[in-house]
Each structure stands twice: as structure tokens, then as C-alpha cells.
Amino acid sequence: MKKLTIFLTIVIVFALLTAVSLPAFAADDAVPEAQAETGESGGGLSAKAIAAAALIAIACATGAISMAIAISKSTDSMARQPEMAGKINSAMMLGLVFIETAVIYALIVAILIIFVL
């Protein structure tokens, strides 16, 4: 699980760096004159869209996998100790909220990549 977390963190950082750096490396002579007058770059939006889509895909997949693992482990624990089912259930729900919060933060970052950067 630790290796998966490290790998996904590296992929998210790479996606963010790609979204920031690709428009900077676009050649000025490749931009049409109409876009050059307004200051828009031709290749920036597609790189931003790819980075945002990759970020959301990775965050949602990671969130779904971690939620499935948390629910599986909690139901196993409740089956072994039925008298602790209430406490296990409340702890599981709190953990699911934190996982979903991380996915929502990834969505906010993806929106910032598209509209702000």
C-alpha cells in the first residue's frame, strides 16, 4: 500500500508539472498570428486538459480502491467482533469521509489547472 501511495503521488506531481511546463515550451513561431495578437498559446489548453483528466482519473481510482479496502476490512472486523460493530462502523465512516475529501481536493486542483494556470 505504501508503494502505491508513493507511485500515485509521483504521478500526480508529474501531471501538475506537465500542465505548468508544456505551455512555456511552446514555440512562438507555431502560434498563428490571430492567437499571437491576443496572447493565447495554441498548445496550452490541451496539455492542461490532459493533466486535469489524468489527475482526476488517478484520484478517483485511488479513492475507490482505498474505500473498497476500508469497507472490506471493517466488515471483516465486524464479523469477527459483532459487539464492536458500532465503533468500527463510525471509524470507517470517518475514514471514508477523509478519503472522499482527498478526491474532492484533487477535483479542485484539476479545476484550478484548467481555469487559472
Contact predicate 103/59, CB 8 Å: yes
**How far is it, in rounded angstroms, from Cα 114 to Cα 117?**
6
Record the pTM.
0.61
- Its domain, for residue 102, covers 2-115
Structurally, the chain folds into a number of domains equal to: 1
Band the pLDDT of 105: cuts 50, 70, 90.
very high
Task: Inform me whether the pLDDT recorded for 27 exceeds 70.
Answer: no
Q: How many CB atoms lie within 10 A of CB 110?
A: 23
- 29: its cell numbers: 513561431
Band the pLDDT of 24: cuts 50, 70, 90.
low
* CATH number (domain holding residue 106): 1.20.20.10
Model confidence pLDDT, tens digit, residues 58-91: 899 899 999 999 999 999 999 999 999 999 999 9
State which H helix or E strand residue 23 sits in.
none
